[in-house]
Amino acid sequence: MNKKIKINQEDRVFFETVAKAAFANPFGGKRDELDALIGGVKAGISPEKLLAAVVGQIRQRIIALKEKDAANLRHWEGEDREAFRIVVLFHLFHRHLEDFDRLTQNQLKSGEASCPVPFARTVLGELHDFGFAEHEALRFLAVFYQLRRAFYFIKNGLVGNSPSMRTLRKHLWNCVFTHDIRWFESRFWDRMEDFSVLLLGATGTGKGAAASAIGRSGFIPFDVSRNCFSESFTRNFVAINLSQFSEGVLESELFGHRKGAFTGAMDNYEGLFSRCAPHGVIFLDEIGDVSLPVQIKLLQVLQERQFSPVGSHERKRFSGRVVAATNRPLEELRREGKFRDDFYYRLCSDVVHLPSLRQRLQESPQELDLLLTSILARLAGNVTPREQQLVKKVLERDLGGDYAWPGNVRELEQAVKRIIITGRCQRPDNGQSVKKSSDLLVDGIKEGNLDAESLLAQYCSMLYSRYGTYEEVARRMKLDRRTVKKYISSSDSNE
């Protein structure tokens, strides 16, 4: 008969602390404190030293258990078994952090084809030696990869350390793993598809970046026969900007069509829902711009998990997750009957609010430095602190410290590009631009050289620079918002 191990009080306290750390949100405030307790070091030391201390402490306990021939699940029972199981998982995950990071980076470079996982056999072998069944070992290998990937993309995809950004990261982590990772591990690891996420926030606040972090962090099973994960995470995220398509084209883009379904349908076409991998994420951007008939079709997909390509009765299954975003006031649209309540409730298992850049800068002046470092690194490779300070000074000189950044991070990116090219950036002046666009319009009318399209486009632009939103222009002109947006974009590109 197997001997059963009982842990002493000191080990029990240690194991409990490890369990708390294992289940804590890594973007929450508590995790570092718990790691410091496990590692027996002071909080606030560098992340690398903290990790080394944690791994070292746990390794010592595991070695001691191995010496007593007790480092296998079969020797444990009840609560002690659960505590030992968590310590082993925590230990193995942290031992292979660098392997998983390398895999993520390789996968980013190689794109669509899933990369080989040279260390997979080692991890599976270690899990087996600690007493995990084969199917559990395979699942934990996939969960380890998912945890590390999610950490990577949530940390690096969204720059900023203000309190509202920290809250956002914590929230995104919960979108991927639920608020209690124990639930995730035991029940939801392959069932997150039923939890749609709605991202709300002004233009340029990073809704696309947040969606991509969630989309690249899904569970992907490991395929032993190919020694790789069944999909590349780059294939697991497919995005569409719904406001770019007219209603007819949009249905084909989403659901695909069959050859001959309409004039011009020369071949079968696979839509976005067919292209989404089984555990993948579809990002429906600008969901607030979608017409009521398309809302009904999307609602059906979310409810029944089935859809038909245009011109076909074939029922296809969709087993991915939906993340949607809009910068439009959904409450207002719902009140006006332009956004269906049933569709809204299907979309919002979780609603994530993206903070404005203005709020972030008010909370933490350091935010601007962090964003500038990241934007400049993306545009110019490594820049010196002095060069970064020059850019910052121009921003302050030309825009002033109180600038509201209505276009948020996207506007900041454009301002930095302008500074690189021209050495300055301009504060948009509504008064001047109204005059400029109205002058252009009047000149065109006087000269009699405007066709109907340009007349409408310039008038829309003039109203837009006066009132600032597509909605208001659409209301005044009694036009649909999408049409207004199209006219304004065409007028901007002709300037």
Ligand X SMILES: Nc1ncnc2c1ncn2[C@@H]1O[C@H](COP(=O)(O)OP(=O)(O)OP(=O)(O)O)[C@@H](O)[C@H]1O
Residues lying near ligand X in the complex (CB under 6 A):
158-160, 201, 203-209, 285, 325, 327, 374, 409-410, 413
Number of residues assigned to the chain:
495
Nearest residue to 406 (alpha-carbon basis) of 391, 390, 385, 427: 427
Whole-angstrom Cα distance, residue 256 to residue 309?
5
Q: How far is the CB of 277 from ligand X (least distance, A)?
A: 22
The answer to whether residues 388 and 181 touch, using CB atoms and an 8 Å cutoff, is: no
Whole-angstrom Cα distance, residue 406 to residue 358?
8
Nearer to ligand X, 16 or 413 (CB): 413
Whole-angstrom Cα distance, residue 136 to residue 124?
9
Nearer to ligand X, 295 or 326 (CB): 326
Nearer to ligand X, 158 or 460 (CB): 158
Q: How far is the CB of 26 from ligand X (least distance, A)?
A: 18
Nearer to ligand X, 144 or 405 (CB): 405
Whole-angstrom Cα distance, residue 167 to residue 89?
27
Nearer to ligand X, 208 or 221 (CB): 208
E strands, 10-107, in order: none
User: Residue of minimal CB distance from ligand X?
Assistant: 206
Nearest residue to 162 (alpha-carbon basis) of 369, 325, 24, 352: 369
- Say which DSSP state 217 is in: T
Nearer to ligand X, 209 or 479 (CB): 209
Nearer to ligand X, 123 or 354 (CB): 354
The answer to whether residues 172 and 378 touch, using CB atoms and an 8 Å cutoff, is: no
Whole-angstrom Cα distance, residue 290 to residue 245?
10
H or E, element range at 338: none
Q: How far is the CB of 332 from ligand X (least distance, A)?
A: 16
Q: How far is the CB of 104 from ligand X (least distance, A)?
A: 18
Nearest residue to 99 (alpha-carbon basis) of 138, 63, 145, 60: 145
Nearer to ligand X, 232 or 327 (CB): 327
Q: How far is the CB of 164 from ligand X (least distance, A)?
A: 10
Q: How far is the CB of 407 from ligand X (least distance, A)?
A: 8
H or E, element range at 20: helix 9-23
Whole-angstrom Cα distance, residue 38 to residue 67?
21
Q: How far is the CB of 215 from ligand X (least distance, A)?
A: 12
Q: How far is the CB of 296 from ligand X (least distance, A)?
A: 24
Question: Hey, CA dihedral for 118, 122, 124, 125, is it positive or negative?
Answer: positive
Token pair, residue 206, equals 């990073």
